A and B are shown apart, each in its own frame.
Chain A
């Protein structure tokens, strides 16, 4: 399941002739990955160096400078945007499961009027550009005078993150519920379990792999979301990491604190990276698995 795990425990013996034929392929992959590693690695090293060292191109020549992180975390308030985004992501992920899992279950299991229409509408809305919905939403939110109050503003952001991800999450989870045998519900019904209880206690736990995968995606999406956060949450106490990082980068360019800027970049990068480190196989399977057709 983790980044480092092997695909299978059984390994083919090395056939040198075959490997040699694949040499150009390996070379190409290695060049691409080498670049990725250099890109990320250099930024990590730069985040531990001083700005002077970065410009002189001799990173870390005076040892590790943890204070870059300390400064970014405390003085530049990376901690605020970090915890804001953590709050947004976790709440959205939780609410999305709460809203979408029952809907996905009902849509995949029962035939009722409007079922197909709702499915089609959800699929179509995944192609709708966000500019098509942002103006009326802004009018609604600004009309309620939400943008000047911190707590309502934060809740509005969560509402929007949840709303925008409802179609994707529902469609993704539908695939998982469709694959669960009906025998379980029938057995539960015979034992006298009401359908509502049956869903929460039997079906939901059985769809757990799908719920975990879609939650990881939702977490990453909300964590990295930029446009909605920019328009609906652009005040000091409300900013998410993406918007906060952007304004921080702009100010650090003028103060000339490159080391601090790279430290902030790494702090924002870290949570999704750590998730990926442990769950890459699951994430990769999820990209082509449910939801996204293909």
Chain B
């Protein structure tokens, strides 16, 4: 058995070492950094200055950071409702016995495999373009000139434009998860319900929805994880640095540490680390909430 454990070690250690280097050590160090004042990211530990919770206090009293958290919350909440309801709707349609199911499914998932930069550029430079944009041409065609004149990328509409474009690309993934959940529900339930005289809507409300609990759990978790990392879309949609309409915590942190820009008053890597800790706490909080909300395991099927 000695030989076997050597082989076992050889099999597991590369993955374990990479994990330690890329996840465990950086996570612990970031946590540590958030309690120190650090002038440069690359500074050695000896130059760090312990400040306790001061970084967090500073962060929470910074208007720009609070705006960025507000934006992130709006993206998470409104975008979440939009994406999850659309993807649930499409999942129900896809699994309702329509023809060309795999074609439709593949088409709806398609935006998920496209580079976010490419997809965002298509939206920005084509759909929302004030000169030759899709929305402008469409509304002009059906003579809604008022709508055609809307500047989608002006400050008033930018956030909505960003949210819609982002959500469009996310629907496919969540739809697949819902659809796999619906397909797992035994047809017997629906048959029995039909015999008892339940209509389509009642069946959905009393069979599909309760049995999709686990899928809601997965979807909300995945949606939260991807929202927290909201960065590319925000960077592409902002026209100035520190654009209050589109800034998210990750963009704020990037500006603080890596980006130039006049909005940075003081260079302190500790604050950047504190942003990371705050976002991680949000994820943990949502995980806990979800586990509590969807915890009952009595719905085995």
Chain A residues close to B by CB (< 8 Å): 3-7, 14, 18-19, 22, 25-26, 28-29, 32-33, 36, 38-40, 42-43, 46, 54-57, 98-100, 102-103, 105-107, 110, 112, 118, 121-122, 125-139, 142-143, 160, 162-164, 166-167, 170, 195-196, 199, 220, 223-224, 226-227, 231, 241-242, 245-246, 249, 258, 261-262, 265, 268-269, 272-273, 275-276, 280-281, 283-284, 287-288, 292-294
Q: Is the CB of B19 within 8 A of A39?
A: no
Do A245 and B18 have beta carbons less than 8 Å apart?
A: no
- Determine if B137 and A167 form an interchain contact, defined as CB atoms under 8 angstroms apart: no
Contact status A166-B22, CB under 8 Å: yes
Given A29-B93, A128-B27, does the pair A163, B18 have CB atoms closer than 8 Å? Answer: yes
Q: Chain B residues near A283 (CB, 8 Å)?
A: 109, 113
Tell whether, in the assembled complex, residue A242 and residue B214 are in contact, meaning their CB atoms are under 8 Å apart.
Answer: no
Q: Is the CB of A36 within 8 A of B110?
A: yes
Which of B4-12, B58-66, B143-151, B188-196 touches A?
B4-12
Chain B residues near A125 (CB, 8 Å)?
19, 23
Any A CB within 8 A of the CB of B77: no
Which of A28, A105, A134, A275 is the most central at the interface, judged by chain B CB atoms within 10 Å of its CB? A134
The reply to whether B134 and A38 form a contact with Cβ atoms under 8 Å apart is yes
Of residues 165 to 188 in B, which have CB atoms within 8 Å of A's CB atoms? 173, 176-177, 179-181
Q: A106-B8, A136-B25, A245-B121 are in contact. List 16 more A-B contacts (CB 8 A).
A: A26-B98, A29-B94, A39-B122, A128-B23, A129-B279, A131-B250, A133-B26, A138-B42, A142-B41, A170-B15, A195-B7, A226-B231, A245-B115, A249-B125, A269-B118, A287-B177
B71 on the interface (CB 8 Å rule)?
no
A-B pairs with the 9 shortest C-beta distances? Answer: A163-B22, A103-B15, A102-B11, A133-B26, A288-B180, A136-B26, A136-B29, A131-B276, A106-B11
- Residue numbers of B with Cβ under 8 A of A are 4-5, 7-8, 10-12, 14-16, 18-19, 21-27, 29-30, 33, 41-43, 89-90, 93-94, 96-99, 101-111, 113-118, 121-123, 125-127, 131-132, 134, 137, 173, 176-177, 179-181, 214-215, 218, 221-222, 225, 228-229, 231-232, 235-236, 249-250, 253-254, 257-258, 269, 272-273, 275-277, 279-280, 283, 287
Whether B12 lies near A106 (C-beta < 8 A) is: yes
Q: Among B14, B21, B280, which residue has its beta carbon within 8 angstroms of that of A129? A: B280
Contact B15 A100 (CB under 8 A): yes
**Do B122 and A133 touch across chains, with their CB atoms under 8 A apart?**
no
Does A129 lie within 8 Å of B228, measured CB to CB? yes
Complex contacts, A26 vs chain B, CB 8 Å? 98
Assuming the contacts A25-B98, A272-B114, asked whether A293 and B218 have C-beta atoms less than 8 A apart, the reply is yes
- Report B-chain residues with C-beta under 8 Å of the C-beta of A163: 18-19, 21-23
With the chains together, A4 CA to B15 CA distance in Å? Answer: 38
| B interface secondary structure, majority | helix
B114: chain A residues at CB < 8 Å are: 224, 269, 272-273
Check A226/B41 contact, CB under 8 A, given A55-B131, A102-B10, A121-B24.
no
Give every chain A residue within 8 A of B42 (Cβ-Cβ): 138-139, 142-143
Q: How far is the CB of B43 from chain A (nearest CB, A)?
A: 8
CA distance A70 to B111 in the complex (A): 26
A55 to B131, CA, bound (A): 7
Inter-subunit contact B218/A129 (CB<8 Å): no
